[in-house]
Structure formats: C-alpha cells, structure tokens
Amino acid sequence: MIYRSLAETPRDFGPCAITIGNFDGVHAGHRKILRRVAALAREEGWKSAVLTFDPHPAKLLAPANAPRLISTLDQRARMMLDQGIDQILILPFTLDVAALTPEEFVREILVDKLGARAVLVGSNFHFGKRAAGDAGTLEQLGERYSFETDILAPVVWRKRVISSSEIRRLIEAGNVSTACRMLSRPHALDGAVVSGAGIGSKQTVPTLNLDTKVEVVPGNGVYVTRTREGVTQSKAQSKAQSKAQREWPSITNVGCRPTFGGQHRTIETYLLSALDGAAPQEISVEFLRRVRDERKFESPEALKAQILRDVGRAQTYFRRLAAAAR
C-alpha cells in the first residue's frame, strides 16, 4: 500500500518497523535494510514500512546540488514492495517538514502519526532541520520515545561501499555491468515509444525510440540490453501479467547519431527477435553490458555493417547467458 501524504495514512499504520530515506536506485545496501525491516516486522507481528520523500530534499533546499535520480518515484516504490515492505509513505518534502528539529520529526511523525516501534537506518543517516540529527541522535530519541533503533553498516562489494552516488557515476560513465552488481539488478529506463527521425528504417536498421523520465542515462555508446513491453512492474504485477507481457533481447544506442549530424541525444533500441504484433507503446530497457563507444562513420552503409557486428556480439552474450542458466 502506498500513501502520498500524512493525511492519507490510516490510524492503524502502526505499530510498525520502519526505515527512512530517499532510496534512490534501491541498491543492494538499501535492499539489506528493507529485508531486515520486513523480517523484524514479521517476527514481532507489526507492519513493515518505508518513509521516503518527494521531491528529494536537495531539490528544495539546494537545487543546484540536487543529484540526478537513478530511478523514478514509481520505480522505487515498486522495488521496495518487492522486498517485502507492506506500506510506503511518500511524504511531500516542504519547507515545514524541513524546519522540523530531529526531536519534532521523531515525535510528531514517527511516533505520534506512524506508530514506529523500530526504526532501521544506515550509519550515514541524517535528519531534521539542517540535517542536525544523525544515527546517534536517533538512538537517543529511541530511548526517550520507546522505540528500538537498528543502525546498519554499509554494504561493501569488492572493497567498494555501495552508494547511490557511486552507482550514478558508474552508469553515466557507461559501466552498466558494475552498476548492475551494485544495484542487484540491471539499470532500467522506462518510458513511451516515440517517433524518431525515420533514418533507421530507411538507411540502417529499424529501432524503437524511447522517451524516458529517468534522469540517470548511461553514457553515449552501444549496449546489450533487454527490452520489455510496458514499464517496470512489481514481481506480483509481472506474475499476474506474464502471459501478456512481451520481452526481447536487444541492442541499444545512446547518443546523438553523429553519422547523420544529429544534435539531440536519443535512446534507440533494435530488437534481436521478431516483434510479432503491434509495436509496443511503452517499454522498459534494461542495460546489461557496454559494447562500444558511439562514433561517426563515413557512410550509412558502414554504420549498418557495424550495427550488424554489434548484433552478433549481443547474440553471443545472450547465448552465453542462456547456457549459464541451464
């Protein structure tokens, strides 16, 4: 269940085990916290909950420094529900919320409104006016207001701390395979299929052109991808609609089409298997592996030949993936 304001939350929102944060990307570190929240709630007979914010606090308080977001709000909510969370409060982040002291935030929102019995956060957690509260503050307030506080250490992968900022850097550098490991899933761009310039169908190969609201897009280049019809769904939604939802192995170009003098960045996906039916109106493109940089070719024919070589590399990737799964 998703609530989008304090006014929407029911009186029986609690007792709950809850975690607080932006959870951009819902990466492996976030998932560790979410699974612990869900497990603790089951053990105690409570509800499991997440308190997150919209917009990201930095967009209100320091817009020039606000990060580009790895995932949309809807994507984050679906992924949190997939980790066993019962309810999510998306709290509108306003100047009034920003002005709450750490104790006011705990007392008025966590305790009085949400019925928190346990609060689980990462060790770098900060909250309250001017981010004056930290994990230690939360522990002290937990003792005062009778809730358990659990501070979880960062998750480390190959001696690197997993964080949204590091994943953002990796994706924008084109290192989608490492980002995939830190996310525990492929980075996906959701959106509508829009009309392109028509160059592909006439001079190279036909593609689906994606218009996405996701702010973090892989760096310009060619990628092995998986394309699904419709936007990213929760596991429950995917299972219910599995018979209707189509998916294709694919290869995707992110860039400005320099061979044709392009000025605007586009995301163009070529499906490696038959469409078999009407073109999808919405797609989700998962980025699995980088193939090469985007570059200018001397002619459309030379570009088409390179695309076919790229297709061969992508087909080899999917054959190996299928063999490893057997």
pLDDT in tens, 159-192: 999 999 999 999 999 999 999 999 999 999 999 9
CB 309 within 8 A of CB 290: no
pLDDT band at 70 (very low <50, low <70, confident <90, very high): very high
- pTM tops 0.85: yes
Residue type, 120: L
Q: Is pLDDT at 121 greater than 70 in this prediction? A: yes
pLDDT band at 263 (very low <50, low <70, confident <90, very high): low
Whole-angstrom Cα Rg for the chain:
22
Residue 149 DSSP SS3: strand
Residue 282, both tokens: 């919405």
| Phi, psi of 101, rounded to the nearest 5 degrees | -70, 165
Which burial class, exposed, middle or buried, applies to 182 when counting CB atoms under 10 A from its CB (0-12, 13-18, 19+)?
Answer: buried
pLDDT in tens, 80-119: 999 999 999 999 999 999 999 999 999 999 999 999 999 9
**Residue 278 has what pLDDT?**
86
Long-range CB contact pairs, 69-74, < 8 A, 24+: 69/24, 69/214, 69/215, 69/216, 70/24, 70/25, 70/164, 70/167, 70/168, 70/171, 70/183, 70/187, 70/214, 70/215, 70/216, 71/24, 71/25, 71/26, 71/214, 72/190, 72/213, 72/214, 74/231
Residue 72, both tokens: 């949309």
Ramachandran category for residue 21: left, alpha or beta (phi over 0 → left; psi -120 to 50 → alpha): left
